[in-house]
C-alpha cells in the first residue's frame, strides 16, 4: 500500500484569528482555503522577494501581522521559526527533538501552526504540542497529546493542523479533543474513532458551533462546546488511515463534503443539526492529499492526479485537467492558485465551463510539492518538501492589493 500525506497551514493574529488578508490558520482566514485579493499578472512572472531553507516537511506557512511562521525538520529536530514577511529575516526560532516519519515521502513537519491572541500553536508528527508567545518565541506551555490521550501516531505521523475558536484549541488524532488556549488543559475528548491525517473544520449551523472531523471511521460532527457527538457517517476503506483532506462546509452549515483517495471517493451530506443524510456520492473526486475548494455551485480539487470541477448539486464532472500531478490549490478572489506536484505555479479563473490557465511559471523544482500555497497581503508563499520556502511578490513593489467593488459571482 502506498500512501502520501500532508496537511497544513495556520496563522498569526497578534490580536485576533483572522485579520485583514492575513492567512491566519489552516486553510486561511475563514478555514475554507479562500481569501480576498487578486493575483496581478500581466505577461510577467511573479517576482521572488526572498527564498529560505527552513527544513524538511510539508507544513505550509502561517502569515499575519507582517510575520511568517514555519515548521521544518532537520537532523532529528523540528524547528519553529518566525520570519519577517518582507525580507525573510529570522526573528526567532525554537528547536526540539522529534520523529521524522519519512516512509514513502520526505517526512518532516506536516501540521501547520495556528496563531491567535499573541500565541503560536504547533503540533509535531509524534504528538508534541507547543504554545509560543508570538512576539518572542517564549514557550508558554507544552504537552504531548499522543501520550496524554493514549493514541499512537499512525504510519505517517499526526498531520492534522490544530485549529482555534475563541479560547478553545481543537485537535483531531483519532480522538477529537478540546484544550484551553491559555494553559493547554484538556476540556473534553471523544472516544477514539481511528487515526487519520485530516484537520478538524469548525463551523456554525443555526448559530451553534460544531466541528466536522474526518477520522478513520468517516465523518463525525461534534458539538464544539460540549464534545458530544451529534452525528456520524461511516466512510472508510479496507486500508486504515487514508483520510487526509479536511471536510468542506457550506456557508450555512447545511452541507458537508468529504473525500479520500484509494478508490474510496467522495460524499456530499446534508446536516440538520441532528443527523447526516447523503445527498450524493461517487468516485468522481478522490482527494488523496489536498483539500478541494467549495464554491456556491462547484467543487474543484485533485481527483488523485487529475484536477477536476464537479457540479455541487449532483456530483457531475464538468471538466478535467491532467498534467499537474498530485497538486494543491487555494482560491484567491475569483482565481484558483495551484501548485503542481513538480512545483509549477498556475493561476486560473474559476469557470464551470472549463480550465483555462491565465498564468504559469516555474517556481519550485522537483517532485512532491504537495504543500498548499498561501496568499497574504499581496504575497504568495510556496514550499517544497526538501525545505525551500519561496516568497513571491504580487506586483513590482509587493504592496497590498487595492480594494475592488464586489461583483456578483456566477460560479
The rounded distance, in Å, linking the Cα atoms of 345 and 190 is: 40
The b-or-e profile of 26-42 (16+ CB within 10 A means b, else e) is: bbbbebbbbbbbebbbe
- Would you say 244 and 197 are in contact if contact means Cβ atoms under 8 Å apart? yes
Three-state DSSP state, 327: coil
What pTM did the predictor assign?
Answer: 0.90
* pLDDT tens figures, 153-165: 999 999 999 999 9
At 172 the pLDDT is: 97
Q: Is residue 10 part of a domain?
A: no
CA 56 from chain center: how many Å? 17
Q: Is residue 12 part of a domain?
A: no
Q: Is residue 15 part of a domain?
A: no
Number of domains in the chain: 1
Phi/psi-derived region of residue 394, left when phi > 0, alpha when psi is between -120 and 50, beta in every other case: alpha
At 21 the pLDDT is: 84
Signed CA dihedral, 214, 216, 217, 218: sign only:
positive
Rounded to 5 degrees, what angle do the CA atoms 32, 10, 78 make?
145
Report the percentage of the chain scoring pLDDT > 90.
Answer: 82
Query: Nearest Cα to 273, choosing from 231, 336, 328?
Result: 231
At 400 the pLDDT is: 38
Residue ranges in the chain whose pLDDT is less than 70: 1-20, 395-411
At 396 the pLDDT is: 53
Q: Is residue 290 part of a domain?
A: yes
At 174 the pLDDT is: 97
Q: Is residue 398 part of a domain?
A: no
The rounded distance, in Å, linking the Cα atoms of 69 and 61 is: 6
Q: Can you give the CATH number for the domain in which 249 is found? A: 2.130.10.10
| Cell of residue 79, nine digits | 524547528
Q: Is residue 231 part of a domain?
A: yes
Strands (E) located in 55-156:
62-64, 67-74, 77-84, 90-97, 114-116, 119-123, 128-133, 139-144
At 56 the pLDDT is: 96
Q: Is residue 114 part of a domain?
A: yes
Domain, as residue range, for 245:
34-393
Q: Is residue 104 part of a domain?
A: yes
Amino acid at each position: 500500500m502506498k500512501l502520501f500525506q500532508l496537511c497544513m497551514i495556520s496563522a498569526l493574529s497578534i490580536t485576533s484569528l483572522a485579520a485583514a488578508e492575513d492567512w491566519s490558520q489552516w486553510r486561511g482566514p475563514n478555514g475554507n482555503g479562500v481569501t480576498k485579493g487578486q493575483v496581478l499578472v500581466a505577461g510577467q512572472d511573479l517576482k521572488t522577494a526572498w527564498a529560505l531553507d527552513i527544513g524538511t516537511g510539508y507544513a505550509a506557512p502561517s502569515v499575519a501581522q507582517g510575520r511568517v511562521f514555519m515548521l521544518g525538520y532537520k537532523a532529528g529536530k523540528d524547528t519553529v521559526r518566525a520570519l519577517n514577511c518582507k525580507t525573510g529575516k529570522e526573528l526567532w526560532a525554537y528547536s526540539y527533538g522529534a520523529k521524522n516519519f519519512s516512509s514513502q515521502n520526505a517526512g518532516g513537519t506536516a501540521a501547520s501552526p495556528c496563531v491567535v491572541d499573541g500565541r503560536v500553536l504547533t503540533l509535531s508528527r509524534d504528538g508534541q504540542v507547543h504554545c509560543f508567545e508570538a512576539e518572542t518565541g517564549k514557550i508558554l506551555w507544552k504537552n504531548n497529546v499522543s501520550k496524554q490521550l493514549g493514541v499512537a501516531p499512525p504510519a505517517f505521523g499526526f498531520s492534522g493542523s490544530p485549529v482555534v475558536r475563541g479560547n478553545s484549541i481543537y485537535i483531531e488524532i483519532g480522538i477529537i479533543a478540546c484544550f484551553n488556549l491559555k494553559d493547554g488543559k484538556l476540556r473534553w475528548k471523544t472516544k477514539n474513532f481511528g487515526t487519520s491525517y485530516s484537520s478538524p473544520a469548525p463551523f456554525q449551523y443555526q448559530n451553534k458551533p460544531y466541528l466536522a472531523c474526518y477520522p478513520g471511521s468517516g465523518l463525525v460532527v461534534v458539538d464544539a462546546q460540549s464534545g458530544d457527538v451529534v452525528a456520524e457517517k461511516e466512510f472508510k476503506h479496507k486500508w486504515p488511515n487514508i483520510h487526509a483532506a479536511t471536510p468542506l462546509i457550506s456557508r450555512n452549515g447545511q452541507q458537508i463534503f468529504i473525500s479520500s483517495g484509494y478508490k474510496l471517493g467522495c460524499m456530499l451530506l446534508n446536516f440538520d443539526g441532528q443527523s447526516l443524510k447523503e445527498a450524493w456520492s461517487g468516485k468522481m473526486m478522490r482527494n488523496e492529499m489536498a483539500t478541494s475548494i467549495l464554491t456556491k455551485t462547484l467543487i474543484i480539487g485533485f481527483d488523485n492526479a487529475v484536477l477536476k470541477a464537479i457540479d455541487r448539486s449532483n456530483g457531475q464532472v464538468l471538466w478535467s485537467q491532467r498534467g499537474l500531478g498530485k497538486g494543491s490549490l487555494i482560491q484567491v478572489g475569483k482565481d484558483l492558485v495551484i501548485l503542481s506536484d513538480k512545483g509549477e505555479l498556475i493561476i486560473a479563473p474559476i469557470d464551470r465551463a472549463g480550465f483555462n490557465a491565465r498564468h504559469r511559471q516555474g517556481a519550485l523544482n522537483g517532485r512532491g510539492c504537495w504543500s498548499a500555497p498561501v496568499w497574504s497581503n499581496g504575497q504568495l508563499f510556496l514550499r517544497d518538501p526538501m525545505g525551500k520556502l519561496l516568497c513571491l511578490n504580487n506586483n513590482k513593489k509587493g504592496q497590498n492589493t487595492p480594494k475592488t467593488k464586489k461583483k456578483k459571482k456566477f460560479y
